[in-house]
Amino acid sequence: MKSAGLLSKSALASTEFFVERAPALSGMMGVRGRRRTFRLTKETVARSASGNRKRAALLAKAPGFAFSGRLDSDVLAVDGRPLSGQLVVEECAAPVAAVELQLLRVEATPAEGRRGGWMRRTSEVMTLQVAEGDLARGVAVPLHMVLPRRFVCESVELPGVFAIDFEVNVVVIFGKNFVVAENVPITILRHESGASQRHL
């Protein structure tokens, strides 16, 4: 005998949900971000590439350039205001092809065999093209990125066990695939009120 009706159908269903802690339960109340300013020139990039001969040789052939910029805060909330700032091309001997913002996740665990050493793994979360084509000199280009809520978590550190941090790269691409970038570490919190459990 074949059963029919309500009991013959599957009763399974799936749904997506987010779990969030209340701000008052967190360990970092009132964390304030700082405005981060930066300057990109051949000299500042050469200092960061001093240990890399190939990069230093490429940089020697690069055109002269000077960029200045800022990020409005180095502390962001997943449910809060987006990353914002600006970039100004002060001078550049070659045309700029594009400007990009990259959000990177940095996972760190203790490295076996190294005392106090950490093994870091960086992965790209998101890249956003901010401008395309040569930029007018002396004009502020706005930087704006909404954090991808499904692909970021708050910054976490469990001392001696693991850490998850985030960084933002402001990337300037020149016409012949020459790239310069400024790396800015950021802290991501769950709530805009400044609540986070940075240290578990």
- Global pTM reads 0.74
Across the strands, what pairs with 180? 172
**Higher pLDDT pick, 78 / 24:** 78
CATH of 27-189 given 3.40.190.10, 3.30.420.10, 2.40.50.140, 2.60.40.640: 2.60.40.640
DSSP state of 8: G
Mean pLDDT throughout 104-110?
Answer: 92
Closest CA to 124 of 98, 152, 97: 152
Q: Using one digit for the tens of pLDDT, what is the confidence trace for 10-46?
A: 777 788 766 665 544 344 445 567 899 999 988 887 7
- pLDDT, position 90: 93
Please state the domain extents for the chain. Answer: 27-189
Confidence class for position 122, pLDDT limits 50, 70, 90: very high
Q: Using one digit for the tens of pLDDT, what is the confidence trace for 167-185?
A: 999 999 887 768 888 899 9
Residue/partner pairs of 52-58 with CB below 8 Å, 24 or more apart? 58/178
Mean pLDDT throughout 92-98?
Answer: 89
Q: Name every residue whose Cβ is closer than 8 Å to that of residue 6 and which is 6 or more positions away in sequence.
A: none
Confidence class for position 59, pLDDT limits 50, 70, 90: confident
In this predicted structure, the answer to whether residue 198 has a pLDDT above a threshold of 70 is: no
Q: In terms of DSSP H, where are the helices of the chain?
A: 42-48, 53-61
In this predicted structure, the answer to whether residue 2 has a pLDDT above a threshold of 80 is: no
**Higher pLDDT pick, 24 / 118:** 118
In this predicted structure, the answer to whether residue 77 has a pLDDT above a threshold of 90 is: no
